[in-house]
């Protein structure tokens, strides 16, 4: 790492191995919702609304994956993080293994390797098998925990000889928030704080058991992943500062402590004890958590938030502070969807994770959702997307080459247009346009945007092209 007198990088930046890539989930990408023996997931029964699509077709990667992989290769990408759909490969989530489903992923992995692209597998991205949700209420039930561990071990058995980078849960710290009841297959109940802690604990045990199995039986690597909550105090009032710190502790730190130290954070342990919360911990579960380790700490980052302690009623659990006390930050811009654009927050997140735990960090989701339409002729001029990625990549390089953060790569989110997390095709993250909207599948044609050619140059130069002054 070398600097000129102005503190800018010279031409030798990123001489180490560094992954450039794309991340997706199964339900937002694949389609093929009822083909080749796939069982239904909770997403498959969601109906379209005026402003959202159903989840049956997504961008039809199930039938277009060769074309999509060619586009990823054309960008120069060296990693593709995708999800194995539990419902596609295990009948009803706890039944027989579906060979046709596994066959699809085998072809996908082979296609990646043939193109020189490193695959990364994620095992769960919120699409609980419908049978497990309706019968057992999702991850609050130990049967579902056991079924997931069985599923994860089978995927490892089949693919760990070819896939060396693994994740268990997408954005696992969301299970520590009120959103847990939406993403865990929980369909009925009172949504109590105790239930939230039971779900998050079962999920942590799943991660630990699978991480331990992978390390015991393969030479592959695995890391925990979270949606990093970069939260500032709304003012310099000490109460706002404390509230922001508590969000960090209960949403970020306690999970990172598990991933790296093998136990929940001390403050969360005390909170659970003081409030008499029963996580329903079984014999051996804490030992499994204590034994697991992370080869890297992965995270998503899109935006930062602020918190106003005056809006938090006394006695509120920190897990739900952001539901009631989040405020707009007047010092940074926001997207048309209200997400505040904060590259410096990205640098801060990289530092907070790495400097505290000294485990390589891996930002594997970053991007901006923009409403776009293609006129059928002209290139989409998505300069706002270029600016977003440019500024976040620069912030990442600042963290690496000024602050000393060990970073394994940079993966964008949904860089071939996919459904948003709410099922809205209007919110597009891609550098490649997919020609469909919420209610008309059109021809599903893939069309590169201006940002495609910009990103291709960034990857070709290993980041140098965003510093034309060098």
Distances (CA, A) of 44 to 66, 74, 462: 24, 32, 40
> Can you tell me which residue has the tokens 């199995």?
213
Cα 448 versus chain centre, distance: 24
Judge contact between 438 and 52, C-beta under 8 A. Answer: yes
Greatest C-alpha distance within the chain: 65
Write down the H helix ranges in 140-192.
142-159, 180-183
> Can you tell me which residue has the tokens 């965003």?
466
The catalytic position among 171, 209, 246, 285 is 171
**Is 99 a known active-site residue?**
no
> What is the C-alpha to C-alpha distance for residues 221 and 200, in angstroms, rounded to an integer?
23
Tokens of 466: 């965003």
The catalytic position among 246, 268, 285, 365 is 365
**Is 118 a known active-site residue?**
no
DSSP 365: E
* Burial state string for 128-143 with b = 16 or more CB within 10 A and e = fewer than 16: bbbbbbbbbbbbbbee
Judge contact between 429 and 365, C-beta under 8 A. Answer: no
Active-site positions read: 171, 365
């Amino acid at each position: 790492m070398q600097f000129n007198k102005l503190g800018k990088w010279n031409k030798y930046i990123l001489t180490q191995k560094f992954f450039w890539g794309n991340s997706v989930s199964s339900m937002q990408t694949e389609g093929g919702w009822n083909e080749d023996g796939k069982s239904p997931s909770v997403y498959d029964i969601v109906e379209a609304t005026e402003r959202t699509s159903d989840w049956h077709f997504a961008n039809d990667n199930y039938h277009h994956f060769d074309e999509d992989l060619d586009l990823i290769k054309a960008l120069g990408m060296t990693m593709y993080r995708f999800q194995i759909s539990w419902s596609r490969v295990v009948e009803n989530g706890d039944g027989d293994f579906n060979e046709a489903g596994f066959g699809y992923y085998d072809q996908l992995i082979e296609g990646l390797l043939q193109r020189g692209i490193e695959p990364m597998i994620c095992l769960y991205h919120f699409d609980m098998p419908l049978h497990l949700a309706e019968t057992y209420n999702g991850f609050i039930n130990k049967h579902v925990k056991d079924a997931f561990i069985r599923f994860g071990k089978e995927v490892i058995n089949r693919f760990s000889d070819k896939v060396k980078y693994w994740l268990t849960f997408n954005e696992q710290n969301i299970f520590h928030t009120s959103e847990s009841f939406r993403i865990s297959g929980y369909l009925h109940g009172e949504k109590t704080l105790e239930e939230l802690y039971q779900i998050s604990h079962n999920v942590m045990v799943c991660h630990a058991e699978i991480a331990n199995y992978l390390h015991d039986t393969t030479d592959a690597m695995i890391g925990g992943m979270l949606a990093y909550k970069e939260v500032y105090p709304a003012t310099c009032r000490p109460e706002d500062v404390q509230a922001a710190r508590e969000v960090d502790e209960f949403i970020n730190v306690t999970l990172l402590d598990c991933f790296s130290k093998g136990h929940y954070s001390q403050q969360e342990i005390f909170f659970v004890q003081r409030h008499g919360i029963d996580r329903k911990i079984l014999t051996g579960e804490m030992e499994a958590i204590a034994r697991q380790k992370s080869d890297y700490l992965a995270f998503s980052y899109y935006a930062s938030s602020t918190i106003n302690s005056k809006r938090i009623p006394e006695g509120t659990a920190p897990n739900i502070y952001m539901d009631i006390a989040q405020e707009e930050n007047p010092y940074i811009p926001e997207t048309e969807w209200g997400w505040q654009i904060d590259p410096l927050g990205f640098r801060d997140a990289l530092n907070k994770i790495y400097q505290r735990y000294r485990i390589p960090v891996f930002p594997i989701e970053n991007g901006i959702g923009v409403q776009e339409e293609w006129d059928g002729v002209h290139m989409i001029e998505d300069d706002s997307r270029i600016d977003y990625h440019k500024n976040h990549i620069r912030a990442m390089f600042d963290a690496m080459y000024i602050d000393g953060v060990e970073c394994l790569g940079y993966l964008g989110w949904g860089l071939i247009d996919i459904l948003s997390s709410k099922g809205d095709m209007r919110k597009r993250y891609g550098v490649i346009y997919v020609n469909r909207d919420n209610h008309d599948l059109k021809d599903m044609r893939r069309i590169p945007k201006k940002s495609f050619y910009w990103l291709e140059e960034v990857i070709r130069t290993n980041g140098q092209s965003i510093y034309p002054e060098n």
